[in-house]
Amino acid sequence: MREKVPVVVTIRGAQPQMSEEIIETRAAGTLTKVGTTYVVEYEENLPAENGKVLAGRATMMLHPDHATLMRTGAIVCEMAFYPSEVRTAPYQNPVGTMEMRIQTKEYEMTALEEELSVRIRYDLWFDEIYICEHILHMQIKAIG
């Protein structure tokens, strides 16, 4: 599959140390497979303070053993998820730029005929301050 296939991306995020709440968002996007890598592209609207929304574009590259998430728009960053590794990168938002550090604890990708499922569990720091553990689950389903 080298052509872009229309998909629906469902993202469920949790921060169990901070809240039992699970945040779920959906977006229309595209899926392309290049070799063993799946490239998922979608528009995202992230909730911000005072009810505002931070709009942007996300590109998730899903490899058999790791993933990267690149964001452009109101937030600019590249998050790298390599199990048992710590990765750092700049994180730019409307307030300024911080150093982001990610320690991936778990990465699992399952590819079926018409659906991809991804689960990532990671710890997150900003400017050397530990924020919390995040659990990200994505489902990518072909439309039609």
Handedness of CA 108, 21, 94, 55 (dihedral sign): positive
Distance CA 12, CA 23 (A): 6
Q: What is the pLDDT along the chain (144 residues), one digit of tens a residue?
A: 578 999 999 999 888 777 777 888 899 999 999 999 999 999 988 777 777 888 899 999 999 999 999 999 999 999 999 999 999 999 999 889 999 999 999 999 999 878 999 999 999 999 999 999 999 999 999 997
Question: In the CATH scheme, what is the homologous superfamily, with its name and number, of domain 5-142?
Answer: Calycin beta-barrel core domain (2.40.128.20)
Strands in the chain per DSSP E: 5-14, 22-34, 37-47, 53-62, 67-73, 76-81, 86-93, 96-111, 115-126, 129-142
Task: Give the list of residues 6+ apart from residue 12 with CB closer than 8 angstroms, or none.
Answer: 22, 23, 24, 136, 137, 138
